[in-house]
Amino acid sequence: MKQAGKTRRRIGVMGGTFDPVHTAHLVIAEAVREAFQLELVLFIPAANPPHKQGRKVTAAYHRLMMTQLAVCSNPYFHVSRQEMERRGPSYSLLTLRELHEQYGEDSEFYFITGSDTINELYTWYHIQELLRSCHFVGTTRPGAFMDMDDLERQFGHIARERIHFLTVPELEISSTDIRQRIRAGRSIRYLVPQAVEEYIVKEGLYR
């Protein structure tokens, strides 16, 4: 039986392709961790991201290794292999079901994503069930506006209970731009952690 007044564990979930993981991912995760008082943030590289079907994605073990290198200096950040070990598309709902089983009913999950992704939640696999499984934190740029009334029209009252927004430092960094820079022979220093840059060079990725 759940003890009265017991504080629920708050755990962040940072899912993504991480092709490659970069500095903005880390800044956003730390900002959300602090703002929502998260016990830890799980970085979960997607083995087979459903929204990237038809696009060439770097081998999963490379993306997993880069993510591990990126987060190892932060004691609140951990990397999960669970989507790497599951066959089929890496649906977030399946991941949340497994996390609830792993961490128990006293855990509350906060799925960290960009505000642009919040606008596309209606396209996600079984989104209503997913909203009941976790909170969403949409990270926004300074001055950005998100229409909560519109989200409530889409998803009902659960939108106000489960969808939150947080303004984070604005960093114009993307994995796409990093891959293009590498192909063009340009520097990616400070766009990714040094250990990730060294791994990319060592493995000859994105060339």
In which domain, by residue range, is 39 found?
Answer: 10-203
Predicted local distance difference test score (pLDDT) of residue 130: 95
Assigned domain for 164 exists: yes
Q: How confident is the model at residue 193 (pLDDT cuts 50, 70, 90)?
A: very high
Let me know if residue 5 belongs to a domain: no
pTM: 0.90
Mean pLDDT of 102-128: 92
Asked if 40 contacts 11 with a C-beta cutoff of 8 angstroms, the reply is yes
Q: The domain spanning residue 26 has which CATH number?
A: 3.40.50.620
Neighbouring C-alpha atoms within 13 Å toward the C-beta of 136: 28
pLDDT band at 2 (very low <50, low <70, confident <90, very high): very low
pLDDT level of residue 1 (50, 70, 90 thresholds): very low
> How far is it, in rounded angstroms, from Cα 192 to Cα 66?
10
| Mean pLDDT estimate for the chain | 91
2 is a domain residue? no
HSE of 37, CA atoms in CB hemisphere, 13 A:
3
pLDDT band at 5 (very low <50, low <70, confident <90, very high): low
Neighbour order of strands in the sheet with 107-114: 77-79, 40-45, 9-16, 107-114, 135-140, 163-167
Q: Is residue 76 part of a domain?
A: yes
**Domain for residue 15, yes or no?**
yes
In a domain, 3, yes or no: no
Could you tell me if residue 4 is inside a domain? Answer: no
Q: Is residue 67 part of a domain?
A: yes
Number of domains in the chain: 1
Decide: 118 and 151 in contact? Cβ < 8 Å.
yes
In the predicted structure, residue 89 carries a pLDDT above the cut 80:
no
pLDDT band at residue 50 using 50, 70 and 90 as cut-offs: low
